[in-house]
Structure 1
């Protein structure tokens, strides 16, 4: 089976043709490296030097595709050229083969060639001086160094620069890929955050509107309908205000305006009062420090808000209890509502509220539980969240709020 040689690179073809034509030109003008009467010249006929020249030009065709093979054959050719009058083109092409073998060959082979040419250069310097003991013998070592070590060292330097450039290019591509991944994750996280904000701010008002509008349509009582319409109007106005506030935050990218204050635990009383207006029997028990990290206060507020919304939509008649307590470096939020069959109108749910609460707690490395549990003779739905209070974050937040000129609103400013 015939072995097909790889197709030579076009630059290698140009190098081979240039070396062959240069050698033929030197042969035509009768220029050789050594005179014909030197003892080392075994074949004084000038035509004999054409054979190593042609072989060396053929090796140049393989300098990039088969650098090791080309160097081995080229070494034999240059050795044969030593016993002829010699051609400068043959020697120059041999130095190029050494350079190409180091540059394009495998790293292990390139390292060996560099060491071998270094040893040959040292030997070519020390041995002639030791044998002949004349200063002119050093010229032999210089010649060997120029023919062998110099191209090998040059190839090694170029190879290192090439590998470094490839590594830097790969590192830049990886950095760009990581930046794109970070950007995509940031966009996803921001979309999830805005989804939680939209759900928590608007769902409460829309749920109350849905329930009271259903009651107004189903009960033929003018007084009841009037009260329901009043609640519907109140929740519509509040929901519209919340939407305008959120849209303002999204549209204002100048950074000149003071960000709107985010909800805090101080607003729990007003939140539960609004739930009572919508028809829930709510009790609130909140004990905590006056100043907590803004992310913790916002998460606790939203969890209570969403839990009251769910109680309004799904809970059975009965009392809803909200407990917020700070203990052992964490803030615990617990909302309990009656669980069971409900006779009155019910607003539809999507389950996004529980997901949003769980995401908020997870962002603060807390724990979250939600589900039915038996409490004596009654069955209750309990939402329980534990939010760790990072001491360093709490200290930094307290220092910021205690600075002169800093108001409570600005310390809680911005969105989650």
Structure 2
């Protein structure tokens, strides 16, 4: 299997090429940190500094992709440079390799390098000075600190700032994502609420219009047709008024408009009278007292939708509407005659029961609807404490 060499970053290529050209220029000008007559210089040939210079420049190509490998090879090249007349550029390139190893290397390397180079700085200056009893050896520790510890510490600081900035960016993205999810959920919930309001407001009036229009078209009796048209007109006007009220609620966000009043249980009597005008025999028994506004609105809408379903589906006979407060719960019960094989007098969408169930669920209440003793009964229990906190 062939070894895949990672492609160096373009900035690393610039550093390597610039360092190599700068080192060659200083070598051509004869600028070296040590003179050939220095006893520490073992390689006195003129081309000797070019070897560690070329190796260190090549290691600069690995400063991002293979930082530890580049540092290891660069250390060997620096050791070779110290036994020749040397090159300032080789030393500078090595400090960059040390910096890059901490900045781009694995987290373990980034944590250990500052501590290791710090200990090496102390030992490289204190131990020789103590053994040789010559304070000038402390300069060795200073040199090690400049070449190794300072770049490593700088890389550690920069890495911490970079990680903190990345963490802040991720938190900002997460916050933006959560805000978008909340906004989407809010829009979905508002659309569902508007759908329930539109259904509850309009369905009853349109059902009455459809039923009485069918009667007016099927019977050839002027008086019956006139009565049916009267009911149709009344429901059309009431439906239009309800639509205008809902539009006023939707426009209430502007500063110069007041929100329209929402229906309460005090309007049950008018609701029942409207159902009686549509031909239903409704009997109301309301003993609920004062209830929280969300509970009152939900109960009103459930009774309203139940009467709409009675108008469309129920058989002839009395309809009972009962509201009773007991043990912190408001019981709502609507009962009507029921014959399973009766054909609906007006088409329905099937959203009525779902809307009532949703209203009860929003207040942590219970909802049930079905045949019971030969009658169709809608039963709802709405907790009053949930309504206070809604």
TM-score (norm 1): 0.89
| Residue 87 of structure 1: how far off its partner (Å) | 1.3
Task: Select between 32-41 and 347-356 the one with higher mean Cα deviation.
Answer: 32-41
Aligned residues, how many? 390
Residue of 384, 387, 411 corresponding to 2:382: 387
Q: Which residue of 1 aligns with 2:307?
A: 308
| 1:6-25 deviation per Cα after TM superposition (whole angstroms, max 9, x unaligned) | 22111111111111122112
Q: Residue in 1 aligned with 2:81?
A: 81
Shift of 1:283: 1.1
The equivalent of 2:365 in structure 1 is: 366
- Does structure 2 conserve the Cα–Cα contact (< 8 Å) formed by 1:215 and 1:225? yes
**Residues in 2 aligned to 1:52 and 1:391: alpha-carbon distance in whole angstroms:** 79
Inter-partner Cα distance in structure 2 for 1:20 and 1:127: 35
CA contact (8 A) 1:56 1:74 kept: yes
Counterpart CA distance in 2 for 1:204 and 1:392 is: 26
8 Å Cα contact 2:103/2:155 also seen in 1: yes
Between stretches 113-122 and 147-156, larger displacement belongs to: 113-122
Q: Show the counterpart of 1:187.
A: 187
Which structure 2 residues correspond to residues 97-112 of structure 1 after superposition, within 5 A?
A: 97-112=97-112
Shift of 1:2: 4.0
Shift of 1:58: 0.7
| Equivalent residue, structure 2, for 1:70 | 70
Q: Which blocks of at least 5 consecutive residues in structure 1 are unaligned?
A: 395-415
1:208-357, aligned counterparts within 5 Å?
208-290=208-290, 292-341=291-340, 346-357=345-356
Query: Deviation digits for residues 262-316 of structure 1, max 9, x if unmatched?
Result: 11011111111111111111111111223x2211110000000000000010011
Structure 2 residues not aligned, in runs of 5+ = none
346-355 vs 223-232, greater mean Cα deviation: 223-232
Q: Is the 8 A contact 1:316 1:342 kept in 2?
A: no
Deviation at 1:391, TM superposition (A): 7.3
Shift, 1:204, TM fit? 0.7
CA-based RMSD of the aligned residues comes to: 1.8
In 1, the alpha carbon distance for the partners of 2:97 and 2:49 equals 19
Aligned partners of 2:293 and 2:387 also within 8 Å: no
Note the C-alpha offset of 1:343.
6.1
- State how far apart, in whole Å, the 2-side matches of 1:176 and 1:277 are: 53
The Cα shift of 1:35 comes to 2.9
Q: 1:343 to 1:386 in 2, by over 3 A?
A: closer
Greater shift in the superposed pair: 38-47 or 241-250: 38-47
Cα distance in 2 between the residues matched to 1:307 and 1:114: 76
What is the aligned partner in structure 2 of residue 399 from structure 1?
none
- Partner Cα separation in structure 2 for residue 206 and residue 214 of structure 1: 12
